[in-house]
Amino acid sequence: MSRAELGIRWSVIVAAVAAASVAAPTAVQAPLGIISLISTAQLLARLTHRRDPVECWLVGSVGTVVLLILSGLLVNYAPHGLTTTNWNLAWALISGVVLIGVAHTGPQLAFGFSRAAAAAFAILGAATVGAYALADAGVSRQNAQPVLAFSALSYGTNHEATLLIQSTNAGGSFQLSVLPDDANRGATSEDVRLPTRGVSRARVVVQLPRARSRWVLVLRSTSGSRATTRKLILAKATNIG
Amino acid sequence: MSAIEASSRRPRLLGLTPPLRGVRSGGRGALLVVSLSCALGVLLQAYVGYEGRVTGNPPSVLFWAGLAVMYGTVAYIVVSGKGLDRSGYAAAIVLLSLGMQLTRLVLYPSLFAYHDELIHVRVLSDILSTKHLYTPNSALPVTPRYPGLEIASAGIARITGLSAHASGSLLLLIARLILSLALFLVVERLTTSPRAAAIASLLYIANPQYLWFNSQFSYQSLALPLCFAFVYLVRRLEGVRAAIAWPCLLGGALAISVTHHLTALGLVALLFLWWILCFYTKGRPRHLTAALVTTIATTLLWGFFARHTIVHYVVEITQNNVKSVQQLVSGQSNHVFFKDTAGDQTPVWERYASLASVILIIVLLPLALWASRAWLRTKRAPALVLCGVAAAYPLIPLGHLTDATSEVADRSSGFIFVGIAFLFAWWAFGAPRAFDRAAAGSAIRKVGARAVACAAMLVLFVGGTVVGSGPPWLRAPGKYLVSADNRSVDPLSVAAASWMGQHLPRDQRLYGDRTGELLASALGKQHPLTNLADKVDNGALSRLLLAPPSPTDVTTAKQDRLQYLLVDRRIATDLPHVAIYTDTGEYGSEHRTRPPTKAAVTKFDSVPGADRIYDNGSLSIYNLVGLR
């Protein structure tokens, strides 16, 4: 192995660990981590002294997966377990050991692509990027479906309730009513407003009538053509969050 | 001197040499066509997913067209055998395998949505959040004890900084790479024909589990490729010293044993058969005994480690299968072909395609097995093992006679089709050259033979995919359906599960419908009550969701120390698409003709002590702590 190659490979190992340890952005850490994995996979294949590219790819990928699994089983018992730092140190150790082993013994290997194969995989890669973009657009469209969620985070303590209203493209004006469960007597209400579009949330603290131990809280839209109602039924003092 | 040998003399940066320099010019064109067809197939599947989400109905014509274009194109190029050399065949198979996997991933680009996937997502998410393995998972208690898939995914996530979903997807692609290359090399070694190896890989893709179950984020999707690679490794380590071979075999066997119980057992059976046959063939590979010993040892060792979960799991599967067979024998089976329990039917052409694929294999299998007597003469033990595995094929269609056994039969196809793929590929394109003999003669006869072979392979692929993929609604995203696994995962159910993850303490005892529970576990980090993990009686517990109001409801909730009840009121609008709303043995599952009443799904509104703490219009969450 040439000095240049050795230098590049050590740099990749160190850079991957450094990027992970300083919590670099994914745009930096992901390519470095992937290159580190591929680099070790390639070295594993070289350890076999085979010149068959098909076998090299197989040995490289199997070796990487098996080493990940076995190292995970061991790192689990390290102090603090499978943390990012431990994972990266373990992988750097594995990569370093494999690199040292190959540096002395490993031959040159057929582990690359011809231009034809590289072009073929590049086409599939480009199509994958396009397909993911299209799929993501579909997910965004589906996630734009209006969702209005009404929930209680805590209630009863000091006769107060902390409520959460979460909206995805379902905002507008709402009336929040607090009713004793047996009648409308003693009802209190207040108005809440959320942006009509996009994702929004509002945390509301309401007073619960003291004479009762069970309350019905109704959130009713007062804008738009479709009436939207959400209902909570609360009793006793509970802090769930 | 070959091009590879010549080039390997020149040191190159990063040890790369141009291995595929030998690809002929025709091969370049063929690879280009393969990649374009795969690219088109992946794009079409993404469009199917897009349309399904936007309109609610994924276009089935485009769905099948995309898959058929991919498979049919590669089948034609490989069958015609023009232009590709060995590396070209391997590249074509790898492109198709990766393309097929990508067609699954682009349908759900941001979330693993299938039933088993959500179970494994919880295991992965526990590893990432707790930083330790083996956190209990009540949805399927055996899964945290076999965490190979999740360990590798977590490793990729921590080393690359990618999300859990992206890391899992990347691992699935690597698994597909391993599977395709290992199968190619195993068959090539036995037949000495790269073309036969490519055909075998194509035939394996036609197995009912390939495109669906074995492409999911689930433990067998990784274990099966590792298993194939292990078998190849046993042969490949032939000339290696024991001091190197034993650790390699031990590491491989341990990785498989840690990943999936049934695959590890299957590998033990395969190696044992091979080892036994070697007494007849008198040519045992040098490290076969070591492979068998390490595999048995790691499987037993890990099985012992996981004994508290695996025994109960296997016993329950066995009991369900025995019960199904008893019902079939006594004429009480209510299994219906090509129709789900909500009444949705498989299109007629798909039924014929699946039947045609089964009939085709059953007709050809005896002929190929008869020809395989040649292996008895040459005494190649691995080939004889694979022929024996192929002979077990009738178990797959027979298993489909009942609900419970059909699941087991389908799962076994991942193994049995290795035999089928090898046997048919060897028979047609290996030494017997049945295909070449049929194609010999005029150009018209040659073209006709190719067309027939490609059509037969396409029938096997489409038919096998229909058999393995289940009802049509399961195949792609679309409008919400009641109790329909991936089709029940929608923004409303995800919103409720995410709320639990953000606002409830972890691992609260919760009960809900089948998909709601899985989402509550995977995204909400809750502890769904199950018979496997908590020994609860689902017949009684499911009454909380499905039965009319009853005084026993409060007693049941108290007995099972239920803390939260997740109610998807939409279950009162339709029958379940997967036969059950919650789990096996639920209330009313025998002879159900109508969904639960509205009163059943809203009854806890009037139960004193039950608080409705979440409502998004379809899903409600009740806090039942006040019932105690």
**pLDDT tens across B293-349, in order?**
999 999 999 999 999 999 988 888 888 888 888 887 887 766 777 888 878 889 999
Distances (CA, A) of B301 to B45, B142, B145, B257, B306: 42, 15, 12, 9, 9
Angle B17-B21-B22 (CA atoms, 0-180°, nearest 5)? Answer: 135
Contact A173, A193 (CB under 8 A): yes
Which is nearest to A93 in space by CA: A67, A69, A66, A65? A67
Q: What is the pLDDT of residue B19?
A: 41
Q: What is the pLDDT of residue B617?
A: 94
Dihedral of CA B376/B382/B385/B386: which sign? negative
Q: Given a cut of 70, is residue A25 above it in pLDDT?
A: yes
Quote the tokens at residue B266: 């299957």
Q: Given a cut of 60, is residue B536 above it in pLDDT?
A: yes
Cα–Cα distance between B565 and B375 in angstroms, integer?
Answer: 61
Query: With an 8 Å Cβ cutoff, are A150 and B34 in contact?
Result: no
Three-state DSSP class for residue B593: coil
User: Considering only alpha carbons, which residue of chain A is nearest residue B240?
Assistant: A48
Q: Is A51 an 8 Å CB contact of chain B?
A: yes
Q: Given a cut of 60, is residue A111 above it in pLDDT?
A: no
3-state DSSP helix/strand/coil percent for chain A, to nearest 5?
Answer: 50, 25, 25
Question: Which chain A residues are closer than 8 Å to B621 by Cβ?
Answer: 151
Band (pLDDT 50/70/90 cuts) for residue B14 is very low
Band (pLDDT 50/70/90 cuts) for residue B406 is confident
Question: With pLDDT > 70 as the criterion, what percentage of chain B qualifies?
Answer: 95
Of A9, A54, A115, the CB nearest to B90: A54
Question: With pLDDT > 70 as the criterion, what percentage of chain A qualifies?
Answer: 87
Q: Given a cut of 90, is residue B113 above it in pLDDT?
A: yes
Q: What is the pLDDT of residue B9?
A: 40
Cα–Cα distance between B13 and A108 in angstroms, integer?
Answer: 9
Three-state DSSP class for residue B34: helix
Query: With an 8 Å Cβ cutoff, are B611 and A55 in contact?
Result: no
Which is nearest to B45 in space by CA: B87, B134, B107? B107
Query: With an 8 Å Cβ cutoff, are B53 and A8 in contact?
Result: no
Q: How far apart are the first and last CA of chain B?
A: 83
Report the pLDDT averaged over residues B490-516. 97
Query: With an 8 Å Cβ cutoff, are B39 and A2 in contact?
Result: no
Question: Which chain A residues are closer than 8 Å to B233 by Cβ?
Answer: 62
User: Considering only alpha carbons, which residue of chain B is nearest residue A182?
Assistant: B606
Question: Which chain B residues are closer than 8 Å to A238 by Cβ?
Answer: 611, 623, 625-626
ipTM of the complex in this document: 0.93
Q: What is the pLDDT of residue A182?
A: 58
Distances (CA, A) of B546 to A91, A136, B48, B187, B492: 51, 36, 34, 52, 20
Q: Is A221 an 8 Å CB contact of chain B?
A: no
Alpha carbon B525 to its chain centroid, in Å, reads 25
Question: Which chain B residues are closer than 8 Å to A240 by Cβ?
Answer: 503-505, 613, 623
Of A72, A126, A131, the CB nearest to B102: A131
Report the pLDDT averaged over residues B133-145. 96
Question: Which chain B residues are closer than 8 Å to A4 by Cβ?
Answer: 13
Q: Is B113 an 8 Å CB contact of chain A?
A: no
Task: Report the gap between the CA of B616 and the closest CA in chain A (Å).
Answer: 4
Average per-residue pLDDT for chain A = 87
Q: What is the pLDDT of residue B399?
A: 85
Task: Report the gap between the CA of A183 and the closest CA in chain B (Å).
Answer: 14
What is the number of other CB atoms lying within 10 angstroms of the CB of residue B444?
Answer: 8
pTM to 2 decimal places: 0.93
Alpha carbon B486 to its chain centroid, in Å, reads 15
Three-state DSSP class for residue A172: strand
Task: Report the gap between the CA of A1 and the closest CA in chain B (Å).
Answer: 8
Residues 6+ apart with CB under 8 A from B219: B120, B143, B146, B148, B149, B259, B260, B263
Residues 6+ apart with CB under 8 A from B473: B340, B344, B481, B484, B487, B577
Q: Given a cut of 80, is residue B73 above it in pLDDT?
A: yes
Q: Is B23 an 8 Å CB contact of chain A?
A: yes
Q: Given a cut of 80, is residue B582 above it in pLDDT?
A: yes
Query: With an 8 Å Cβ cutoff, are A147 and B616 in contact?
Result: yes
Band (pLDDT 50/70/90 cuts) for residue B15 is very low
Q: Which of residues 543-602 of B touch A (CB under 8 A)?
A: none
Cα–Cα distance between A122 and B518 in angstroms, integer?
Answer: 37
Please, what's the b/e burial string for A157-179 (b: 16 or more CB within 10 A of its CB; e: otherwise)? eeeebbbbbbbbbbbbebebbbb
Query: With an 8 Å Cβ cutoff, are B612 and A153 in contact?
Result: no
Q: What is the pLDDT of residue B401?
A: 82
Band (pLDDT 50/70/90 cuts) for residue B357 is very high
Q: What is the pLDDT of residue B506?
A: 95
Q: Is B300 an 8 Å CB contact of chain A?
A: no
Query: With an 8 Å Cβ cutoff, are B91 and A117 in contact?
Result: yes
Q: Is A149 an 8 Å CB contact of chain B?
A: yes
Q: Is A152 an 8 Å CB contact of chain B?
A: yes
Of B34, B175, B612, the CB nearest to A232: B612
Quote the tokens at residue B426: 């060897």
Q: Given a cut of 90, is residue B390 above it in pLDDT?
A: yes
Least confident window among A170-184, B92-106, B499-513: A170-184
Average per-residue pLDDT for chain B = 91
Q: Given a cut of 60, is residue B3 above it in pLDDT?
A: no
Best mutation target among A142, A154, A182, A212 (most B Cβ atoms within 10 Å) is A142
Q: Is A240 an 8 Å CB contact of chain B?
A: yes
Three-state DSSP class for residue B612: strand
Task: Report the gap between the CA of A205 and the closest CA in chain B (Å).
Answer: 15
Least confident window among A122-126, A160-164, B282-286, B415-419: B282-286
Least confident window among A198-212, B42-56, B419-433: A198-212
Cα–Cα distance between B300 and B293 in angstroms, integer?
Answer: 11
Query: With an 8 Å Cβ cutoff, are A142 and B36 in contact?
Result: no
Burial of B498 (0-12, 13-18, 19+ CB in 10 A): middle
Taking CB atoms and an 8 Å cut-off, how many pairs form between chains A and B? 337
What would the pLDDT profile of B181-227 be if each residue is shown by its tens digit?
999 999 999 999 999 999 999 999 999 999 999 999 999 999 999 99
Sequence letter at residue B235: R
Question: With pLDDT > 90 as the criterion, what percentage of chain A qualifies?
Answer: 55
The residue to which tokens 């050259």 are assigned? B433
Q: What is the pLDDT of residue A151?
A: 96
Best mutation target among B32, B44, B98, B158 (most A Cβ atoms within 10 Å) is B158
Cα–Cα distance between B485 and B561 in angstroms, integer?
Answer: 27
Contact B565, B604 (CB under 8 A): yes
Q: Given a cut of 80, is residue B54 above it in pLDDT?
A: yes
Q: What is the pLDDT of residue A116?
A: 83
DSSP string, B522-566: HTT--EE--HHHH---HHHHTHHHHSPP-THHHHHHHHTT--EEE
The phi, psi pair for A192, rounded to 5°, reads -130, 140
Q: What is the pLDDT of residue B285?
A: 87
User: Considering only alpha carbons, which residue of chain B is nearest residue A162?
Assistant: B613
User: Considering only alpha carbons, which residue of chain A is nearest residue B44?
Assistant: A131
Of B27, B161, B229, the CB nearest to A116: B27
Cα–Cα distance between B133 and B123 in angstroms, integer?
Answer: 8
Q: What is the pLDDT of residue B96?
A: 98
Query: With an 8 Å Cβ cutoff, are A138 and B171 in contact?
Result: no
Of A73, A142, A232, the CB nearest to B151: A73
Strand partners, B567: B620
Query: With an 8 Å Cβ cutoff, are B161 and A26 in contact?
Result: yes
Question: Which chain B residues are closer than 8 Å to A228 by Cβ?
Answer: 617
Q: What is the pLDDT of residue A204?
A: 93
Cα–Cα distance between B200 and B193 in angstroms, integer?
Answer: 11
Cα–Cα distance between B546 and B408 in angstroms, integer?
Answer: 29
Helix spans in B260-339 (H): 261-281, 288-305, 307-329
What would the pLDDT profile of B241-254 be if each residue is shown by its tens digit?
889 899 999 999 99
User: Considering only alpha carbons, which residue of chain B is nearest residue A34?
Assistant: B160
Least confident window among B147-156, B395-404, B525-534: B395-404
Best mutation target among A12, A42, A124, A234 (most B Cβ atoms within 10 Å) is A124
Q: What is the pLDDT of residue B441?
A: 80
Give B64 or B345, the one with higher predicted confidence. Answer: B64
Question: Which chain A residues are closer than 8 Å to B254 by Cβ?
Answer: 70
Quote the tokens at residue B382: 């691995």
Query: With an 8 Å Cβ cutoff, are B106 and A135 in contact?
Result: yes
Question: Which chain B residues are closer than 8 Å to A151 by Cβ?
Answer: 499, 503, 613-615, 621
Question: Which chain B residues are closer than 8 Å to A24 by Cβ?
Answer: 161
